[in-house]
């Protein structure tokens, strides 16, 4: 029985071992096939890379290298010259003289002899007030004067007669003294009459209102036909002197010593007056005086300048900008103010070197005026400094320089 069982189960074992021996060569061949395919793929990829690498033109390979671009800037040359130094301030045009013309007598305003806005000369007739009441008073004073003169003459004749009689001892000394006193009384009356005549004459003259100064007439304040009085507050008109004219302006108290020193030394300090926008120059004059105190609230001091104003470019109460020239720096190094880069510690500029790169240069600023700055150290005349485009620069940056004449200098790549 056991032999039969063994004979039945043995054949399958022999069959499996034989199948494995038969399939082993196929697996080996499959593995080698994949290995060769992988090698071929690697070789193909390497050949393709070499082919594309060495088949590109040389200029394309070179262009692939990153290049530092040149920064476009505007530069100007440092120059040598004179730089005026100014102090600036805000001011107001003030007439040299302003007069409110009033009547000095009471009466009816008969006529006016001016046009509003007219330029008049000193002594020119402006208005007339009815003179008849004052002419009548003058006539009365003259009549009284003539009467008292006659009485005085008669008193002198009597005095001479009494002197002769007293010398003959014909009258008492008291009579002579009384006559002498009467003569003195008439002499006093004559002086009183003369004073009344002078007063009446002045009042008659005051009926003709004349210009006390030369200037421009303002708007008429009283029309003809009205009764005017010497106590009227408004007056007849306002007369303003325009030639010459003054400008009152302020400067910081820190600048006062320099200005005061030059003014006391007799130097003529030039004052330029500009319009409200500070663009158009209106007039040029000289500094006249300095106020006697500093405004503690603002820390400023007031100054007055005198200007001829021949063309009437300045008008009373006009707001202006004032520039006071305190000195002129001669033969200094000058650069545009835009070239100066200011930091908390110092001031620097970007200087363009011959190889079209820039270098940072520390400078010492002396004064700034009208867009120009004088530099005492750090620069020489003829050097090029960057005035536009500095925000993209650093030490050694290559630049493409555009000059004032619009020519361009490019940096080497």
What's the CATH number where 288 sits?
2.40.30.170
pLDDT in the model for residue 50: 64
Say whether pLDDT at 75 is over 50.
yes
Dist CA 103 CA 98 (whole Å):
16
Dist CA 295 CA 89 (whole Å):
15
Q: Is residue 105 part of a domain?
A: no
Identify the CATH number of the domain in which residue 141 sits: 1.10.287.470
Whether 249 and 188 map to the same domain: the answer is no
pLDDT in the model for residue 185: 95
More confident site: 389 or 21: 389
pLDDT in the model for residue 30: 67
Mean pLDDT, the chain, as a whole number? 85
Helix (H, G, I), strand (E, B) or coil at 137: helix
pLDDT in the model for residue 26: 59
Whether 228 and 147 map to the same domain: the answer is yes
Mean pLDDT along residues 46-69:
57
pLDDT in the model for residue 15: 44
Whether 157 and 193 map to the same domain: the answer is yes
Q: Is residue 202 part of a domain?
A: yes
Q: What is the dihedral of CA 370, 375, 376, 380, to 10 degrees?
A: -130
More confident site: 17 or 74: 74
Closest Cα partner for 394 from 364, 362, 358, 367? Answer: 358
Whether 287 and 336 map to the same domain: the answer is no
Least confident of 181-185, 258-262, 280-284, 368-372: 368-372
Whether 133 and 217 map to the same domain: the answer is yes
Whether 261 and 313 map to the same domain: the answer is yes
More confident site: 7 or 89: 89
pLDDT in the model for residue 101: 95
**pTM score, whole prediction:** 0.64
Asked if 216 contacts 117 with a C-beta cutoff of 8 angstroms, the reply is: yes
Question: pLDDT band at residue 17, thresholds of 50, 70 and 90?
Answer: very low
DSSP codes of every residue in 273-296: EE-TTS-SEEEEEEEEEEEEEEET
Last residue of a domain, one of 329, 352, 380: 329
Whether 191 and 168 map to the same domain: the answer is yes
Say whether pLDDT at 168 is over 80.
yes
Say whether pLDDT at 112 is over 90.
yes
Q: Is residue 65 part of a domain?
A: no
Asked if 321 contacts 338 with a C-beta cutoff of 8 angstroms, the reply is: no
Bridge partners, residue 125, by sequence: 210
Task: Work out the percent of the chain whose per-residue pLDDT is above 70.
Answer: 84
Bridge partners, residue 346, by sequence: none
Whether 213 and 243 map to the same domain: the answer is no
Count up the domains in the chain and report the number: 4
Say whether pLDDT at 362 is over 50.
yes
Task: Work out the percent of the chain whose per-residue pLDDT is above 90.
Answer: 56
Q: Is residue 103 part of a domain?
A: no
Bridge partners, residue 341, by sequence: 348
Q: Is residue 405 part of a domain?
A: yes
Sign of the Cα torsion 142, 146, 151, 155 reads positive
Question: pLDDT band at residue 65, thresholds of 50, 70 and 90?
Answer: very low
Q: Is residue 101 part of a domain?
A: no
Whether 303 and 313 map to the same domain: the answer is yes
Closest Cα partner for 220 from 116, 122, 111, 124? Answer: 116
Say whether pLDDT at 358 is over 70.
yes
Identify the CATH number of the domain in which residue 382 sits: 2.40.420.20
Last residue of a domain, one of 300, 329, 358: 329
Mean pLDDT along residues 231-244:
93
Question: pLDDT band at residue 212, thresholds of 50, 70 and 90?
Answer: very high
pLDDT in the model for residue 91: 95
Say whether pLDDT at 57 is over 60.
no
pLDDT in the model for residue 343: 81
Question: pLDDT band at residue 3, thresholds of 50, 70 and 90?
Answer: very low
- Strands 300-307 and 245-252, how do they pair? antiparallel
Q: Is residue 67 part of a domain?
A: no
Closest Cα partner for 251 from 287, 216, 208, 279? Answer: 287
pLDDT in the model for residue 68: 67
Whether 120 and 212 map to the same domain: the answer is yes
Q: Which two tokens stand for residue 94?
A: 């003030």
DSSP codes of every residue in 2-53: HHHHHHHHHHHHHHHHHHHHHHHHHHHHHHHHHHHHHHHHHHHHHHHHHHHH
Last residue of a domain, one of 202, 235, 268: 235
Q: Is residue 106 part of a domain?
A: no
Q: Which two tokens stand for residue 95?
A: 């007439």
The range of the structural domain enclosing residue 145 comes to 113-235
Whether 12 and 47 map to the same domain: the answer is yes
Mean pLDDT along residues 309-338:
91
Say whether pLDDT at 116 is over 80.
yes
Say whether pLDDT at 373 is over 70.
yes
Whether 249 and 224 map to the same domain: the answer is no
Dist CA 268 CA 88 (whole Å):
17
Given the structure tokens 């692939």, which residue do they identify?
64
Dist CA 383 CA 395 (whole Å):
17
**What single DSSP character describes residue 265?**
T
Mean pLDDT along residues 220-233:
93
Say whether pLDDT at 24 is over 60.
no
Sign of the Cα torsion 47, 48, 49, 55 reads positive
Say whether pLDDT at 103 is over 50.
yes
pLDDT in the model for residue 199: 95
Mean pLDDT along residues 234-261:
93
């Amino acid at each position: 029985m056991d032999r039969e069982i063994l004979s039945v189960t043995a054949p399958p074992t022999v069959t499996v071992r034989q199948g494995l021996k038969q399939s082993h060569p196929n697996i080996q061949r499959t593995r080698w096939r994949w290995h060769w395919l992988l090698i071929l793929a690697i070789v193909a990829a390497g050949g393709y890379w070499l082919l594309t690498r060495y088949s590109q033109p040389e200029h394309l390979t070179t262009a692939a290298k990153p290049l530092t671009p040149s920064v476009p800037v505007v530069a100007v040359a440092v120059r040598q010259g004179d730089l005026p130094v100014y102090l600036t301030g805000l001011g107001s045009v003030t007439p040299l003289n302003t007069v409110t013309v009033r009547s000095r007598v009471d009466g009816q305003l008969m006529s006016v002899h001016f046009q509003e806005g007219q330029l008049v000369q000193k002594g020119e007739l402006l208005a007339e007030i009815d003179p008849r009441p004052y002419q009548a008073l003058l006539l009365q004073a003259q009549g009284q004067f003539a009467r008292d003169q006659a009485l005085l003459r008669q008193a002198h004749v009597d005095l001479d007669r009494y002197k002769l009689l007293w010398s003959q001892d014909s009258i008492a000394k008291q009579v002579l003294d009384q006559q002498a006193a009467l003569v003195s009384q008439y002499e006093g009356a004559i002086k009183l009459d003369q004073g009344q005549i002078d007063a009446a004459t002045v009042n008659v003259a005051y009926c003709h209102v004349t210009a006390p100064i030369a200037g421009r007439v303002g708007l008429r304040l009283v029309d003809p036909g009205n009764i005017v009085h010497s106590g009227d507050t408004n007056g007849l008109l306002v007369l303003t002197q325009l030639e010459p004219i003054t400008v009152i302006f302020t400067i910081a108290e820190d600048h006062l010593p320099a200005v005061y020193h030059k003014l006391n030394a007799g130097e003529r300090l030039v004052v330029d007056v500009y319009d409200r926008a500070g663009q158009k120059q209106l007039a040029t004059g000289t500094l006249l005086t300095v106020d006697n105190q500093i405004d503690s609230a603002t820390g400023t001091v007031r100054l007055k300048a005198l200007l001829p104003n021949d063309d009437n470019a300045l008008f009373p109460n006009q707001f202006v900008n004032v520039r006071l020239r305190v000195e002129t720096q001669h033969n200094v190094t000058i650069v545009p103010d835009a070239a100066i880069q200011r930091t908390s510690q110092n001031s620097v500029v970007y200087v363009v070197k011959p190889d079209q790169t820039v270098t940072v240069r520390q400078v010492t600023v002396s004064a700034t005026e009208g867009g120009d700055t004088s530099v005492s150290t750090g620069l020489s005349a003829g050097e090029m400094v960057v005035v536009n485009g500095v925000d993209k620069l650093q030490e050694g940056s290559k630049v493409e320089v555009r000059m004032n004449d619009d020519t361009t200098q490019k940096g080497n790549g």
